[in-house]
């Protein structure tokens, strides 16, 4: 066993010192919300596979105040994810050049948010018609 104890600069909480990195951690944290929602859907599927009584219990849970509160929080997390996803998109896309000019970052963000709004309205209308 080596007795050497090389100095390591402490890094715990490094991101708390700079608002830019705090935002980075928060937007990375939206992954927890996305995972939680996927697990809720999976739980619903599990209940549905077990039969009508199990499904009714799951539906009753969805109507309970804790679930409504949880989904309210999830909704905020997802809205933040939508905003940050399209806010970062200009930096994650390869440069798009149209008639010799590079598309402005703000244009990409706005187009993404508009697409999200459009897709959401379409989804709601489909759900309403199908239900």
Partner 1 sequence: MKRSNAPIFWALFGAGGMLSALVGAMLVLITGIAAPLGIGLPGDVLSHANVLDFVHNWAGKLILFAVITLFLWHAAHRIFHTLHDLGIHAGWTARILCYGSALAGTIASCVLLMQIA
Residues near partner 1 (CB under 8 A): 11-12, 15, 24-25, 28-29, 31-32, 34-35, 37-42, 44-46, 48-49, 52, 55-56, 59, 62-63, 67-68, 70-72, 74-75, 78-79, 81-82, 85-86, 112, 115-116, 119-120, 123-124, 127-128, 130-131
Task: Count CB-CB contacts under 10 A for residue 79.
Answer: 13
- Which sign, positive or negative, has the C-alpha torsion 37, 127, 79, 72? negative
Query: DSSP E strands: which ranges in 31-91?
Result: none
Query: Judged by CB, which is closer to partner 1: 22, or 102?
Result: 22
From CA 52, how far away is CA 56, in angstroms rounded?
Answer: 6
d(Cα 17, Cα 14) in Å, to the nearest integer?
Answer: 6
The smaller minimum CB distance to partner 1, of residues 48 and 96, is found at 48
Least separation in angstroms between CB 102 and partner 1: 21
Nearer to partner 1, 55 or 105 (CB): 55
Residue 79 or 96: the one with the smaller Cβ distance to partner 1 is 79
Least CB distance to partner 1 at residue 83 (A):
9
> What tokens does 11 get?
């890094």
In terms of Cβ atoms closer than 10 Å to its own Cβ (0-12, 13-18, 19+), residue 121 is exposed
């Amino acid at each position: 066993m080596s007795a050497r104890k090389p100095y390591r600069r402490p890094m715990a909480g490094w991101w708390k010192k700079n608002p830019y990195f705090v935002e980075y951690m928060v937007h990375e944290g939206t992954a927890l919300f996305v995972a939680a929602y996927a697990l809720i859907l999976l739980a619903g599927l599990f209940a549905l596979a077990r039969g009508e009584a199990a499904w009714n219990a799951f539906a009753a849970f969805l109507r309970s105040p804790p679930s409504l509160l949880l989904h309210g929080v999830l909704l905020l997390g997802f809205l933040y994810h939508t905003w940050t996803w399209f806010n970062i998109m200009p930096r994650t896309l390869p440069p798009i050049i149209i008639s010799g000019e590079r598309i402005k970052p703000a244009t990409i963000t706005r187009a993404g948010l508009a697409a999200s709004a459009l897709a959401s309205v379409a989804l709601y209308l489909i759900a309403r018609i199908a239900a």
